[in-house]
Amino acid sequence: MVISPSAYWTGPLPEATPPADMALYRLPTGTYTTRAVFAVTGGSVRDKREFAATAVLISHPKGDLLIDAGFGEHVAEHIAMLARMERAPHRLGRTAAQQLDAAGYDRSRLLGVLVTHVHWDHVSGLDSLRVPVWINEAEIRYGAADSHATVFRAVSQGLEIREYAFDGPEYLGFPASFDVHGDGSVIVALAAGHTPGSVVVFVTPPTGKRYAFIGDLTWQMDGISRGAERPWLLRRVADVDAGTVRAGLQRSIALSRVMQVVPAHDVAAYDSIPLLPSRFPSVTP
């Protein structure tokens, strides 16, 4: 896929008025290994790729959210639930729940986990976190029935489901949006295709740097820098609608010069986001 230079976004960016005490942190929980030949068009058989399983904490005075849950303490059992060809060697670090607890984080600040989609590598940690799951209707339906959502059904048992609707307008080329706090700082945009309710989460902290957490529109940075799609076989297996994924990927590439685009599984794409501090700042009254 080739993107022409004129396709890059040059228009104004949507307004956002993030509060001064809003902040972003990354919580890397582990990685799994995939052969590059399966990860990206043009990847070799011998080259192996590390896939990140990283949650991102959006700290906001109106309530905090995690984007995805990363690996949980039972991730080995979750991998065992997958079809044989989907299983991959993994390395588990500290779970998001363990990292939050170690930082003295008050988990009552957490509104929930906003999932980019319900595949195992994004939701494994839900059963350790035990907070509401923020999800849209299309993804709830997919999660209730699809064979690629068995882990989600297991880990979300007994958790509160917070269904949100895309009641907002088109956003940076994506057809519908949901403004979480009403200030433009966290926008969830529908980017269906990988799954029916997959989303991109646009985050604008007060630093002025913008982020697009694009889930699995592409797995690694090559998808953005080279316009490399998943290999055709994986598109057929992994995506419910490969054409819509391609359109979403094109939109993401177009935005990559005006914001940090973060494919969910690219380890280095998270580098500019700080880790949790050893003592999490408590809210000032």
Residues making contact with Zn ion (CB under 5 A): 119, 121, 216
Query: Could you tell me the smallest distance in angstroms from the CB atom of residue 223 to Zn ion?
Result: 12
- The Cα–Cα gap between 190 and 236 comes to 21
For the chain, the C-alpha Rg in angstroms (whole number) is 18
For residues 139 and 122, the answer to whether their CB atoms sit within 8 Å is no
DSSP states along 104-138: T--GGGEEEEE-S---HHHHTTHHHH--PEEEEHH
Alpha carbon distances (Å) from 283 to 23, 27, 132, 271? 12, 20, 21, 26
Judged by beta carbon, residue 103 or residue 192, the one nearer Zn ion is 192
Identity of the residue, 117 or 251, whose beta carbon is nearer to Zn ion in the bound complex: 117
Task: Provide, rounded to whole angstroms, the least separation between the CB of residue 156 and Zn ion.
Answer: 16
User: Any bridge partners for residue 179, and if so which?
Assistant: 187
Ramachandran angles phi, psi of 156, nearest 5°? -95, 0
**Hey, how many other C-beta atoms are within 10 angstroms of the C-beta on 110?**
20
* Least Cβ distance, residue 157 to Zn ion (angstroms): 21
Q: Considering the complex, state which of residue 119 and residue 148 has its C-beta at the smaller distance from Zn ion.
A: 119
Contact yes or no for 278/233 (Cβ under 8 A): no
Q: Which is nearer to Zn ion, 121 or 229 (CB)?
A: 121
Q: Is the dihedral angle over the CA atoms 271, 190, 57, 185 positive or is it negative?
A: positive
Closest distance of CB 61 from Zn ion, Å: 30
Give the integer Cα–Cα distance in Å for 155 and 274. 28
CB 53 within 8 A of CB 121: yes
Q: Tell me how far, at minimum, the Cβ of 117 lies from Zn ion, in Å.
A: 7
**Which lies closer to Zn ion via its Cβ, residue 119 or residue 210?**
119
Coil, strand, or helix at residue 108?
Answer: helix
Least spacing, CB of residue 168 vs Zn ion, in Å: 25
Q: Quick one: 121 or 222, whose CB is closer to Zn ion?
A: 121
Indicate the residue among 121 and 239 with the shorter CB distance to Zn ion: 121
Q: How far is CA 227 from CA 144, 235, 254, in A?
A: 32, 14, 10
